[in-house]
Structure formats: C-alpha cells, structure tokens
Amino acid sequence: MPSPIHCTSSQLDLLKRPRRNRRTEATRALVQETHVSVDDLIQPLFVVDGEGPVESVQSMPGVMRYPIPALLNRCNEIIELGIRAVALFPNFGPGCKDEVGSHALVPDQLLLRAVRAVKEAFPDLLVITDVALDPYTSHGHDGVLSADGRSVDNDASVEKLAQLAVLEAEAGADWVAPSDMMDGRVLAIRRALDEAGYTETAILSYAAKFASSFYGPFREAVGSLQAAGTAHLDKRTYQMNSANPREALRDALLDEEEGADLLMVKPAGPYLDILYQLRQQTRLPVAAYQVSGEYAQIHAAAQMGWLDLKKTRDETLLSIKRAGADTILTYFAADWAADAIART
C-alpha cells in the first residue's frame, strides 16, 4: 500500500506579490490605469423626416430613428446625462435618392434641417455630421459611379462631398466627418470650408474605415441595405482591406497631412491593433467608432443569456479607451452615462 501524502502549508519566499494591488475594491480603484468618462463618449443618432412617432431599428435594440421634434427631446435627455456631443445620420426615403446623390446638395434637406434645429435649441451641444453620399444614392455607394457603373468616380465624388461639407457647416455642424474613404477628400473639404469662411469647423476624418461585416445594422438604420454592392462593385474598392494594417496607417496619416483635426478608426473592437498603432504615430486626437454590429452582437448574446450586457459593454468601452482612443462613438453612450449617474 502506498504511503499517504502529507500536505504541509508553507509561505513562498516572495518579495513581489502583484496581487496586493488587487486585494480590495478600494485598492483596485486607486491603481486603475485606464478610465472611461462621460466626456469620452459621443452618441450617434438617426433622424427621419416628418413629425410622426419614433421608429425602432429592429437589429439594434433600444436604438431609434427620430423625427426632428423627437430628436430635440432626445438631445435634451442626452445633455442631462452629461454627454457633450452627438453624431447625426439621416434616413431618406426612396424619393430622395438617385444615381448621383443629388439630394445631398438640396439646401433644406433633412440632415441640414436637423442640424439647424439642434443647434438652435442647444447651442453648446457639439454636433457632428456625416459627409458621405450613401444616404442619398439609389445604389447606396459612398460616391458617384463612373459612366460604366463599374467603379466609384473618386474625383467627381470628392467635389460633391466638399460641397456637402460646406452646407453642413453652414447649417451649424461643429465637426464634419467624411466617411467615404475617397482619396483626397480631406484636403478638398478643408479648402472648401476655408474658402467659405468656416475655418473653425473641424474635420473628424474616418481615417481608417475598413470594409467590415459589422455595418449591417447601421445600413438598416439609414435605409441603405441595398447599398452593400452591385453586380460589379462593392465597397472594398474604397474601404480599407481588413488584412492591411500598414496601408491603413498610411491612409490615416495622409488625412493628417491634408488637414484633418481628428482621426478615427472604424470599427473599433476588431481593429484595436490599428487604433493602438495610430495612437503611437500621431499627435492628433484619435477617435474610434464602436459600430452597429458590435452593439448588436453584445445585445444578442445578452438576450440569449450568454453574456452580461452591462459588464460586456463596459469592458469593450474600456478596451477601446485602453488601446488609445481619446473619444468613442458608441450607441451605448446614453445608457453608459445613465448607469454612471446611478452609481454615484
């Protein structure tokens, strides 16, 4: 019969015990290196025409499309939560769309009316506007197509984007945010803004926007699901290749040279490595967009009981901040801020 094993307790001879800094909640709070603040968060909002009730976005629980009167109510709620900035995205009906996105340059189109209304009601709320043609084009691409329809005409698209940016600045946008990924659009927009007298309007460039599978719920929200591509063209001809970090950084730093005031990585979670590397290579503020698919997948898993919604939300936001984001666009912004208030 084998001899019994006798276990004796002994203390390891350790000088350094990292767990001491994790021992109590107070200690953990005092030594925490990264924090998310309400000042870091930007709330994206979808706006629709008319004065009817708000419309829910089926694939994004808790996210709504707001007619302008309801949008103002929502902005007031967001301000009361301590959030300082909103990003507005319009949803246009089919009657406002054509092959060349003509409606983008109509002086009284929905997005411009929404900006005017928000700035009139809340002058101190920072308003960010999307500079892109996909909400206005019947094919849903972010630019004007070439004559044969087989590609996006870069330079013709940039010309129209610059005109749209000026209209948005005129309406009162504080930051214009080109999200199209056309070459040279930041330089063209900066020159157009300056020539029109909007030298103080900042450019938040979607500097590294990837051709991602995480945009589906957003396309539902803005009514451009048909926009994912045509028989001959998809958005990979202008959005970044997910496999190319060096190319992404090159594009982002070109935007800095062209006059961007802030650089953004989109999506955030799947591209934390790009966010981290960009933070090391620029002195500009860096933003990250936690996109609709990131939001939707957390909600879906939580609804199945597989994840804790709030803990997962908070962990993902913390990881984005830790990777180097100075500011985060997230559909969780208002809920996070409300929970932060409840904790105090």
Q: Where are the alpha helices (DSSP H) in 109-244?
A: 110-121, 154-171, 185-195, 216-222
209 catalytic residue (yes or no): yes
Q: Cβ neighbours of residue 339 under 8 Å, at least 6 residues apart?
A: 310
The H or E element containing residue 79 is: helix 68-80
Give the three-state DSSP class for 131. strand
160 catalytic residue (yes or no): no
Q: Which of 19, 58, 171, 172 is nearest to 105 (CA)?
A: 171
Q: Which of 165, 182, 162 is nearest to 240 (CA)?
A: 182
Sign, CA dihedral 161-163-167-173, equals positive
DSSP string, 4-42: PPPP-------S--GGGGGSSHHHHHHH------GGGEE
Q: Which of 153, 193, 151, 187 is nearest to 174 (CA)?
A: 193
Distance set, CA 176 to CA 32, 126, 134, 228, 335 (Å): 34, 11, 16, 23, 25
Q: One of 160, 209, 235, 321 is an active-site residue; which one?
A: 209
Structure tokens, 141:
């691409």
Q: One of 97, 160, 235, 266 is an active-site residue; which one?
A: 266
The H or E element containing residue 126 is: strand 126-131
Q: How many CB atoms lie within 10 A of CB 52?
A: 10
Return the active site residues: 209, 266
